Amino acid sequence: MSDHKIAIYPGTFDPITLGHIDIIERSSKLFDKVIVIIAINPSKKPLFNVDERMEMIFNAIKPFPNVSVEKFDGLVVDFAKRVKAKVIIRGLRAITDFEYEFQMALMNRQLADDITTVFLMPHEKFTYLNSTIIKNVANFGGNIEKFVTKFVEKKLIEKLGQEGN
């Protein structure tokens, strides 16, 4: 068994927020390698396609040399097994997140009991943030610079402008 501690951080990241980046930064200090994975969820209709989201994440993780980004279509535990990750990182913003995340963690344990889910809370200044709120604020011309990177802000403005919103 390797001493190399690999963790994965799955999500749709549509788009990545400073709350996500806060979780990534803290994870990068806890694990030897962190792989941010864009989980392709057919039940969600993202604003950004997978390649656009990968580009935004890649731009955001540049300061963290032990963090990479990949896309994956399937069960998160299958991806974890493939890359030999023993940890799935999940962010908890509020108590409302807990029930869903707890159910997912228990299901993942049933599917792969050697993989542990670790819950991290973002800095309190990001606890109310989610990608949907960011998109809604941007769609109505609100200032989002405190919630996303400059690169993501630019991409959101471009995307929403293209779609005529």
Q: What distance in Å separates the CA atoms of residue 164 and residue 72, rounded to the nearest whole number?
A: 30
Q: Which residues are catalytic?
A: 20, 44, 93, 131
Is 34 within 8 Å of 67 (Cβ atoms)?
A: yes
Is 86 within 8 Å of 6 (Cβ atoms)?
A: yes
Phi, psi angle pair for 2, to nearest 5°: -80, 150
Q: Of 17, 80, 13, which Cα lies nearest the Cα of 50?
A: 13
Q: What distance in Å separates the CA atoms of residue 31 and residue 74, rounded to the nearest whole number?
A: 24
Q: What distance in Å separates the CA atoms of residue 75 and residue 77, rounded to the nearest whole number?
A: 5
Q: Using the 8-state DSSP alphabet, how is residue 148 labeled?
A: S
